[in-house]
A = this chain, B = another copy of it.
Amino acid sequence: MNRMFLSMALGLGLGAAYSLPAYSQAKPETLVKQRQAAMTLQGKYFGPMNAMAQGKIPYDAGVVTRNAGYLDALSRMPWDGFAPSTKGEKSAALPAVFTDAGKFKEAQDRFQAEVTKLASVAKGGDEASVKAQISTVNKQCAACHEDFREKR
């Protein structure tokens, strides 16, 4: 069970029947580094889109389509890094990540769903709809940070 949990937690999809793969033994500090890397890149690619939606920089459909595609991949990457083994690591994660894992998972799922929708809407190209969906994604970022990340 522990083996399986580790595999699942790392998203490797390797069943318990296999021998424990080296990659399911990722150190807690590595998991934290990887999940923070995913968040850093979400910021890199979401930031400009959010600035466009807020009218701070000119709208660029090509950039939005590209960034939304990247974000669609990135939106799936941080979550296996919040393994229970990382509980004691220094990070901005609030205890609720571990004590309210169900609610955290729901927030992840909502975020991913809205990002996937953004990637799809971005391909359509209607600027107003795209901007509205960027704002929706932004609200999901904020809601999850509110509940699960230390205020800075």
Contact = CB atoms under 8 A, between A and B. Distances in A.
Interface of A: 12-14, 18-19, 21-23, 33-34, 36-38, 40-41, 44, 47-48, 51, 56-58, 60, 62-63, 66, 69-70, 73-74, 76-77
Given A60-B14, A70-B77, A23 B48 contact: yes
Contacts of A47: 23
| Binding site secondary structure of chain A | helix
Contact of A37 (B37, B51, B66): B37
A35 B22 CA distance: 26
Contact of A51 (B21, B40, B44, B73): B21
Given A14-B63, A37-B41, A40-B37, A23 B70 contact: no
A63 B12 contact: yes
